[in-house]
Amino acid sequence: MLNTTASFLRCVPLYTRPRTLHSSPAYFPSLAALARRQLGAFQTGLPASYSTFGVSEHAAVSTNKPYYITTPIFYVNAVPHIGHLHSVVLADTLKRFQEMKGRKGLLSTGTDEHGLKASIQQAAAAAEVSEKELCDRVSQRFKALFDAANISYTTFIRTTDMNHAVAVKEMWNDLWNKGYIYKGQHEGWYSVSDEAFYASTQVEEKTDEKTGEKYHVSIETGKAVEWTTEENYKFKLSEFTEPLLNWLDKNPEGKYNEVREWLQQGLSDLSVSRPRSRLTWGIPIPGDDSHVMYVWMDALTNYLTVTGYPWRGIMGAQKATGGWPADAQIVGKDILRFHAVYWPAFLMAAGLELPKKIVAHAHWTQSKMKMSKSIGNVVDPFTAMEEFGTDTIRFYLMNDGGLSDDADYSSELVAGRYRKLLAGQLGNLLSRSTSLALNPSKKVPSPPSEGNIHPDDLALWNKLKELPEKVDQSMTQFRTTQATHHIFDMLAEANANFSHGEPWKLVKDPSNKERVDQLIWNALESTRMAALLLQPIIPTKSSEILDQLGVRGDERSWEHAQRGRGWAADQEARSVATGGPMFPPLKK
């Protein structure tokens, strides 16, 4: 699971436009170059860990730039499920983590409402509502989910928003003016449900077991494809094979290899419009109403729209204070090609900076099958949160849902994590540390001095010291499962330290007061550190725990997540509170 920090931090020089492109008749000076000059020594880095690639955090030195993180925008042809929620909780966790470290955070999410003829037009027709009404309904449902899940999004974009149409048209005009879009014929294997053309190498023949009929499917998505010819606009994607390879260069791990393989097969030009006769629900091509924009070009541009792109006029100021380039773009592994090939190519063509990291996460399955409406195995996130609580589900998703391996959702596992980790470790240590029987004064004992650590406490003492660094490394690599592992490893040690110390026996003899105080401090400090570091994942529960521990609001940032940095100087005046169980037993 662990990736080496060394490979993660590797940097290379900024992407440079290849020579061949300079001869392009409509080549314009790169905006990226201008932006670079403003930002100073900015470097684009290399593929980092096996599910991420982009710039090293250490290279991202633009001081006032907010941390801008994005989620994919969600199709409105089906209601949200737990897998969708995972992308957003991950982004929210990472944003909150950066905020804890003192950086302003921007988190953008929203809904992808155009295209998908097979889905949106048909779903709207089936529900006897207009496309717009259907979009409103489902978009609202996603928004309600993110509110219920305590997602601190700063923008919720809908691709039917007016400002988005402006941004998309700007992007189109820019690429057209620079000669990267032309009108042509397009022939290929087309998948209606994927809204994508595939090359012959990406398609395989299958035989229907019942009828014996032959048909073709996309190897990547398994969706049916048909040979289709149509007139449309094309983007010169083929010119970007080399620049993209350069961008990805050198990282030998996982998802990076996948993307490299796609690139090495060579890229064909990409069809970026659909005839209006086939698809009416989309953004019209500027100057040609007979075509609408390819849904992915439309959708990907959302990441710019929310930063105020095209950054002119009043919006111009947003370039300086706004988000672009994104610090991290969270995507599920199924949409990696769109984000790691098409998206950077569009940006390069437009002369814009590339996102610093693209983070692909694995999927949630149920009964080992990918959740899908058609299989009928989707988990309703609203019901799950009602049953177990918002923070429990957030915790479960971040504790079990990783970047590399698919995770299988089960209510038993949610209950198990709740009982064993949240209640059994964190809740238990909280009630132990605030026990009135052991600490009737409710005062926080003084921390031990470095040279005076009881031998039984050494393991915990060291774990507390190392924990922030470990959590920081895990979070910087987007590995929340690792971060929770480290936190709960420390909590297990803290509980063992308490059990082994048996303060409930020692307290009977007043001469043991010093040792009892030490054990209470160990437990209190461990609970404080855990709650503090878990804030990005379980914000509500963490806040309640920190309240109970008497930790002030201004003592909850990263600088306080260090052993001995709690309760500040006026510790004597603070007291902890007792309370009912923080994680009460589950109903069933």
Site membership for ligand MSP, residue 74 (CB under 6 A): yes
Site membership for ligand MSP, residue 371 (CB under 6 A): yes
Beta pairing, strands 270-271 & 67-70: unpaired
* Rounded Cα distance, 290 and 312, in Å: 29
**392 touches 416 (CB < 8 A):** no
Site membership for ligand MSP, residue 556 (CB under 6 A): no
Site membership for ligand MSP, residue 552 (CB under 6 A): no
Stretch that binds ligand MSP, among 119-127, 243-251, 364-372, 441-449 (CB under 6 A): 364-372
Site membership for ligand MSP, residue 334 (CB under 6 A): yes
Nearer to ligand MSP, 270 or 464 (CB): 270
Residue 382 beta carbon to ligand MSP: minimum distance, rounded to whole angstroms: 16
Pick from 331, 530, 531, 582 the residue near ligand MSP by CB under 6 A.
331
* Rounded Cα distance, 68 and 107, in Å: 6
Pick from 35, 47, 86, 273 the residue near ligand MSP by CB under 6 A.
86
Nearer to ligand MSP, 195 or 493 (CB): 195
Name all contacts of 139-147 with Cβ < 8 Å and 24+ positions apart.
Answer: 139/76, 139/110, 139/111, 139/113, 141/79, 141/80, 142/74, 142/76, 142/80, 142/84, 142/109, 142/110, 142/111, 145/80, 145/84, 145/85, 145/381, 145/382, 146/88, 146/109
Binders in 301-320 for ligand MSP, by CB under 6 A:
302
Residue 62's nearest CA partner among 325, 444, 247, 271 is 325
Nearer to ligand MSP, 84 or 463 (CB): 84
# chain residues binding ligand MSP, by CB under 6 A: 20
Nearer to ligand MSP, 45 or 402 (CB): 402
Site membership for ligand MSP, residue 364 (CB under 6 A): yes
Site membership for ligand MSP, residue 335 (CB under 6 A): yes
Site membership for ligand MSP, residue 83 (CB under 6 A): yes
**167 touches 309 (CB < 8 A):** yes
Stretch that binds ligand MSP, among 363-371, 499-507, 555-563, 564-572 (CB under 6 A): 363-371
Residue 558's nearest CA partner among 106, 153, 104, 99 is 99
* Rounded Cα distance, 183 and 427, in Å: 63
Stretch that binds ligand MSP, among 28-36, 98-106, 331-339, 471-479 (CB under 6 A): 331-339
3-state secondary structure 191-244: ECCCCEEECHHHEEEEECCCCCCEEEEECCCCCEEEEEEEEEEEECHHHHHHHH
Site membership for ligand MSP, residue 91 (CB under 6 A): no
Stretch that binds ligand MSP, among 35-43, 78-86, 253-261, 319-327 (CB under 6 A): 78-86
Site membership for ligand MSP, residue 39 (CB under 6 A): no
* Rounded Cα distance, 229 and 62, in Å: 47
**111 touches 74 (CB < 8 A):** yes
Pick from 103, 137, 223, 363 the residue near ligand MSP by CB under 6 A.
363
Site membership for ligand MSP, residue 60 (CB under 6 A): no
Beta pairing, strands 364-366 & 369-370: antiparallel
Nearer to ligand MSP, 94 or 519 (CB): 94
Pick from 92, 112, 113, 517 the residue near ligand MSP by CB under 6 A.
112
Residue 17 beta carbon to ligand MSP: minimum distance, rounded to whole angstroms: 24
E strands, 256-327, are 270-271, 273-275, 284-285, 288-293
Site membership for ligand MSP, residue 471 (CB under 6 A): no
Site membership for ligand MSP, residue 75 (CB under 6 A): yes
Nearer to ligand MSP, 353 or 457 (CB): 353
Nearer to ligand MSP, 339 or 417 (CB): 339
Q: Quick one: which H or E segment has residue 361?
A: strand 357-361
Nearer to ligand MSP, 83 or 243 (CB): 83
Beta pairing, strands 67-70 & 224-235: unpaired
* Rounded Cα distance, 515 and 503, in Å: 8
Site membership for ligand MSP, residue 192 (CB under 6 A): no
Dihedral pair phi/psi, residue 96, rounded to 5°: -60, -35
Site membership for ligand MSP, residue 87 (CB under 6 A): yes
Question: 545-584: string of b/e by CB count within 10 Å (b at 16+)?
Answer: bbebbbbeeebbebebbebbbbbeeeeeebebeeeeebbe
Torsion of the alpha carbons at 228, 234, 235 and 236, rounded to the nearest 10: 90
How far is CA 502 from each of CA 163, 485, 529, 581, rounded to the nearest angstrom?
A: 63, 26, 22, 21
Nearer to ligand MSP, 138 or 487 (CB): 138
Pick from 84, 274, 417, 486 the residue near ligand MSP by CB under 6 A.
84
* Rounded Cα distance, 182 and 277, in Å: 20
Nearer to ligand MSP, 87 or 481 (CB): 87
- What residue type is 286 in one-letter code? P
Pick from 370, 442, 485, 552 the residue near ligand MSP by CB under 6 A.
370
Q: Measured at CB, which residue is nearest to ligand MSP?
A: 332
3-state class (DSSP) for residue 408: strand
Site membership for ligand MSP, residue 72 (CB under 6 A): yes
Binders in 262-301 for ligand MSP, by CB under 6 A:
299-300
Stretch that binds ligand MSP, among 2-10, 70-78, 164-172, 423-431 (CB under 6 A): 70-78
Residue 132 beta carbon to ligand MSP: minimum distance, rounded to whole angstroms: 18
Site membership for ligand MSP, residue 157 (CB under 6 A): no
Nearer to ligand MSP, 72 or 539 (CB): 72
* Rounded Cα distance, 13 and 60, in Å: 13
* Rounded Cα distance, 308 and 157, in Å: 12
Pick from 332, 402, 468, 536 the residue near ligand MSP by CB under 6 A.
332
Q: Could you say which DSSP state residue 11 is in?
A: B
Stretch that binds ligand MSP, among 57-65, 89-97, 209-217, 327-335 (CB under 6 A): 327-335
Residues within the interface to ligand MSP (CB under 6 A): 72-75, 83-84, 86-87, 112, 299-300, 302, 331-332, 334-335, 363-364, 370-371
